[in-house]
Amino acid sequence: MAKELKIEISQYYSTMVASVDEFFNSREIRYSRGLCSPEGCYEDTYNLSAIRDFTRQFKSGAFQKDILVFEGLFLMRSELIDLWDFSVHVAVDPDIASTRAIFRDSKSADSQIELEAKHSARYKPAQTLYMELEDPMSKVDCIIKNNDIESPCIIENEAAKHNKHGLRIRDLITTEKC
């Protein structure tokens, strides 16, 4: 969805996309609490200092772009929330998200059973932990409900409609209001 958003925003601003997946900690750190640890997934997967450094560089003008679309998991956590001028949460029911992730990851997995077990024990509970600890949907400017990939819908947070650039998500993408 970040690439699609970039296309729309690029009509108005020079834009780049970055992913939290570019900021993985080493495998040793990511799995230091065990292969199936939800806490390890949430706490240890990403190098938060590197994310902060990257966004500081972006804001200093190092990339000569107006807008950074930064996508990925766990971005509304308290350690990162101050980095974002405008935020969107793509909401997907946990079972649907797991099914999509397992399908995506099955292309490179050795065992479908191990993959499903890892998603069930590590990734899905990590997402639940994040939702409980951070309540990201209360912090964002808008939510895009995306259970149906062909028909996403927008819920704007009325208290935070505009970022400092005066950008409204509804002006950038055409999708149904929920």
Report, as ranges of residue numbers, the positions in the chain whose pLDDT lies below 70.
105, 107-111, 113, 115, 117, 156-178
The model's pLDDT over 26-52, given as tens digits with 9 standing for 90+, comes to 999 999 999 999 999 999 999 999 999
Which DSSP string corresponds to 55-71? HHHHHTTTT--SEEEEE
Tell which residue, 73, 68, 109, has the closest CA to residue 92: 73
**CA dist list (Å): 34 to 25, 28, 133:** 14, 10, 21
Structural domains of the chain, with CATH:
2-177 (3.40.50.300)
List the one residue out of 72, 71, 68, 73 whose CA is nearest residue 85.
68
Verdict on whether the full-model pTM lies above 0.85: no
